[in-house]
């Protein structure tokens, strides 16, 4: 079958392309923005990429067009597909029809940490000899590709709550029908399609409704919004995870009135290092051992618990998996060190929400101590650009000593108020060239400079590294 994928450089659709190619289909695609890491992966797979959405980019004889959810009516390629009567589908539905049947699906959902947790879960299953299939919204360093079929019974999928396509407004994750679902956390996001957090909770409830009774729900026991989702109805065994203090007491465990049961933590981590790099894991009060790994932050310890619990839910020995954490390499652009030059360490981070910004910077601060941290931020997600998170942005940047904020001319809200409220030194710049020049003039040996954006950022981290002579 010949497939054309519209929006192929998105992390999800790029993974679909890799799976289709592995199944033996002829695959091509087009996208408005072609940038790494997905463009690099697709080129390595020999998949032809076209820039832009001209109808001419869809070759004659295509059997099916898979449409990414970034495209809507009025897009020239979409209009051509409809007018020409071409067969079309969404990536999520295609995955459900061609890859997931017969597999034990483990779906990782949540506002934050989906990519890291999905990659980690796949790595744990790999370490257990399961040879899982997976589709991750990024490129896990342990595997070098964002998706593969695998030969094992399990398939791990990053389960996004964003809508499926212009013709299917359900959340993508309802297509996957998982046996095990991880509910990592839930906050308001995607302001372009959800009016409030209650609308997102309704979608999570739809996911809960399709997990079978013989399956498992792995749920953040510290998250009130998720407790409210479970209170809407739950038909599947639930295991909760969370952080405990030195005395073994839950730090933030929560429940809500009307919840099906008490919020007892089944899986816990007790931090041995403030930066989250060492912690003791316990299951129902029984200590399994200590994890020592390269990731930072309390949030990543939570991600670790979620992945370990999910692996155990399909029969893996949790204690035997603990050594595998030491060899886990997260997905690209998750506080990824791109290089060091003139004593300045440069990071690339896929930031999309104030909570993600804060937890990432907190983890880095705990690691580097009093060293200077500079955040270079592009408000790139739809919610960011709409200003939905404007009030929370300045507090999220508190761990940074200085902030350079990319205020492009087309940003529809004034960033001056946010910049004025930042605790440390802060300024705006109109373009990436100015940002790189500003940072190069300000950086000094010992600094840690973190570029934060969920877009291509015009290769800003690597341009900055080059400007330093790296």
- Domain ranges in the chain are 2-90, 100-327, 336-467
Here the tokens at position 248 are 């073994």
Here the tokens at position 177 are 């029908």
What would the pLDDT profile of 347-358 be if each residue is shown by its tens digit?
998 876 788 888
For the ranges 51-60, 262-271, 373-382, 434-443, which has the lowest average pLDDT?
Answer: 373-382
Q: Are 43 and 36 in contact (CB under 8 A)?
A: no
Whether 451 has a pLDDT exceeding 70, the answer reads yes
Average pLDDT over every residue of 50-69: 96
Q: Residue 352's pLDDT is what?
A: 67
3-state secondary structure the chain: CEEEEECCCCHHHHHHHHHHHHCCCEEEEEECCCCCCHHHHHHHCCCEEEECCCHHHCCCCCCEEEECCCCCCCCHHHHHHHHCCCCEEEHHHHHHHHCCCCCEEEEEECCCCHHHHHHHHHHHHHHCCCCCEEECCCCECCCCCCEECCCCCEEEEECCCCEEECCEEEEHHHHCCCCEEEECCCCCCCCCCCCCHHHHHHHHHHHHHCCCCCCEEEEECCCHHHHHHHHCCCCCCEEEEEEECCCCCECCCCCCCCCCCCCCCCEEEEECCCCCCEEEEEECCEEEEEEECCCCCHHHHHHHHHHHHHHHHCCCCHHHHHHHHHHCCCECCCCEEEEEECCEEEEEECCCCHHHHHHHHHHHHHHHCCCCEEEEECCCCHHHHHCCCHHHHHHHCCCCCEEEEECCCCCCCCCHHHHHHCCCEEEEECCHHHHHHHHHHHCCCCCEEEEECCCCHHHHHHHHHHHCCC
Q: Comparing C-alpha atoms, which of 253, 308, 317, 254 is closest to residue 280?
A: 308
Q: At what angle do helices 197-209 and 224-231 cross, to 10 degrees?
A: 50
Q: Residue 258's pLDDT is what?
A: 46
Higher pLDDT, residue 185 or 417: 185
| Mean per-residue pLDDT over the chain, rounded | 91
- All residues at 6 or more sequence positions from 129 whose CB lies less than 8 Å from its CB, including other chains: none
Q: Residue 292's pLDDT is what?
A: 96
* Euclidean distance between CA atoms 17 and 147, whole angstroms: 9
Higher pLDDT, residue 423 or 45: 45
**% of the chain residues with pLDDT over 90:** 70
Q: Residue 142's pLDDT is what?
A: 93
What would the pLDDT profile of 38-49 be if each residue is shown by its tens digit?
788 898 889 999
Q: Residue 38's pLDDT is what?
A: 76
Average pLDDT over every residue of 322-341: 90
* Euclidean distance between CA atoms 401 and 359, whole angstroms: 15
What would the pLDDT profile of 333-344 be if each residue is shown by its tens digit?
788 899 999 999
Whether 389 has a pLDDT exceeding 80, the answer reads no
* Euclidean distance between CA atoms 117 and 156, whole angstroms: 10
**% of the chain residues with pLDDT over 70:** 94
**100-327 CATH choice from 3.40.1190.10, 1.10.1740.10, 3.30.450.20, 3.30.930.10:** 3.40.1190.10
Upper half-sphere CA count for residue 73 (Cβ side, 13 Å): 5
Q: Residue 388's pLDDT is what?
A: 52
Q: Residue 260's pLDDT is what?
A: 45
* Euclidean distance between CA atoms 449 and 26, whole angstroms: 42
Average pLDDT over every residue of 46-62: 94
Higher pLDDT, residue 423 or 83: 83
Q: Residue 409's pLDDT is what?
A: 79
Whether 386 has a pLDDT exceeding 60, the answer reads no
* Euclidean distance between CA atoms 78 and 55, whole angstroms: 8
Average pLDDT over every residue of 348-369: 85
Average pLDDT over every residue of 85-95: 98
What would the pLDDT profile of 188-227 be if each residue is shown by its tens digit?
776 677 889 999 999 999 999 999 999 999 999 999 999 9
**Beta partners for residue 448, in sequence order:** 345, 373
Question: CATH homologous superfamily for 2-90?
Answer: NAD(P)-binding Rossmann-like Domain (3.40.50.720)
* Euclidean distance between CA atoms 218 and 235, whole angstroms: 13
Q: Are 135 and 95 in contact (CB under 8 A)?
A: yes
Q: Residue 330's pLDDT is what?
A: 79
Using alpha carbons, list the distances in angstroms from residue 389 to 154, 184, 356: 37, 20, 12
Q: Residue 366's pLDDT is what?
A: 86
Q: Residue 194's pLDDT is what?
A: 82
Average pLDDT over every residue of 85-104: 98
Query: What is the bridge-based pairing of β-strands 168-171 and 163-165?
Result: antiparallel
Q: Are 107 and 159 in contact (CB under 8 A)?
A: yes
Q: What is the pTM of this model?
A: 0.82
Whether 468 has a pLDDT exceeding 50, the answer reads yes
Q: Are 65 and 37 in contact (CB under 8 A)?
A: no
- All residues at 6 or more sequence positions from 109 whose CB lies less than 8 Å from its CB, including other chains: 159, 160, 161, 173, 181, 182, 183, 184, 204, 207
Q: Residue 305's pLDDT is what?
A: 98
**pLDDT band at residue 456 using 50, 70 and 90 as cut-offs:** confident
Q: Residue 354's pLDDT is what?
A: 84
**Domain 336-467: CATH class, spelled out:** alpha beta
Burial of 68 (0-12, 13-18, 19+ CB in 10 A): buried
Q: Residue 350's pLDDT is what?
A: 83
Whether 419 has a pLDDT exceeding 60, the answer reads yes
């Amino acid at each position: 079958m010949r497939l054309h994928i519209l929006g192929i450089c998105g992390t999800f659709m790029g993974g679909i392309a890799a799976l289709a190619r592995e199944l033996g289909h002829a695959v091509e695609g087009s996208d408005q923005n072609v940038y790494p890491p997905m463009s690099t992966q697709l080129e390595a797979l020999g998949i032809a990429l076209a820039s832009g959405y001209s109808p001419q980019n869809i070759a004659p004889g295509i059997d099916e067009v898979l449409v990414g959810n970034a495209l809507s009516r009025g897009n020239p390629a979409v209009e051509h597909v409809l007018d020409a009567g071409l067969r079309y589908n969404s990536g999520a539905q295609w995955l459900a029809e061609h890859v997931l049947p017969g597999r034990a699906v483990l779906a990782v959902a949540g506002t934050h940490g989906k990519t890291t947790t999905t990659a980690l879960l796949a790595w744990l299953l790999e370490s257990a000899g399961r040879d899982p299939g997976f589709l991750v919204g990024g490129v896990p360093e342990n595997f070098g590709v964002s998706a593969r079929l695998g030969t094992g019974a399990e398939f791990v999928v990053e389960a996004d709550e964003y809508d499926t396509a212009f013709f299917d407004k359900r959340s993508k994750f309802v297509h996957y029908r998982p046996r095990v679902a991880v509910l990592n956390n839930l906050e308001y996001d995607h302001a372009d399609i959800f009016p409030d957090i209650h609308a997102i909770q309704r979608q999570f409830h739809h996911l809960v409704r399709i997990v079978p009774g013989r399956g498992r729900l792995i749920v953040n026991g510290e998250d009130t919004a998720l407790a409210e989702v479970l209170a809407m109805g739950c038909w599947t065994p639930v295991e909760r995870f969370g952080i405990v203090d030195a005395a073994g007491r839950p730090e933030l465990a929560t429940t809500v009135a009307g919840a099906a049961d008490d919020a007892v933590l089944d899986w816990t981590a007790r931090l041995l290092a403030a930066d989250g790099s060492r912690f003791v894991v316990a299951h129902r009060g029984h200590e399994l051992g200590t994890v020592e790994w390269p990731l930072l932050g309390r949030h990543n310890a939570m991600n670790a618990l979620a992945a370990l619990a999910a692996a155990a839910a399909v029969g893996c020995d949790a204690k035997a998996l603990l050594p595998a954490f030491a060899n886990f390499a997260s997905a690209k652009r998750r506080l990824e060190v791109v290089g060091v030059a003139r004593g300045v360490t440069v990071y690339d981070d896929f930031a999309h929400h104030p909570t993600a910004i804060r937890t990432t910077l907190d983890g880095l601060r705990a690691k580097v101590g009093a060293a200077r941290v500079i955040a270079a931020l592009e408000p790139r997600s739809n919610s960011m650009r709409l200003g939905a998170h404007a009030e929370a942005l300045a507090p999220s940047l508190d761990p940074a000593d200085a902030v350079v904020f990319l205020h492009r001319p087309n940003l529809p809200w004034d960033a001056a108020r946010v910049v004025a409220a930042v605790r440390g030194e802060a300024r705006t710049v109109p373009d990436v060239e100015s940002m790189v020049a500003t940072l190069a003039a300000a950086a000094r040996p010992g600094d840690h400079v973190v570029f934060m954006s969920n877009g291509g950022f015009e290769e800003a981290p690597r341009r900055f590294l080059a400007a330093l002579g790296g």
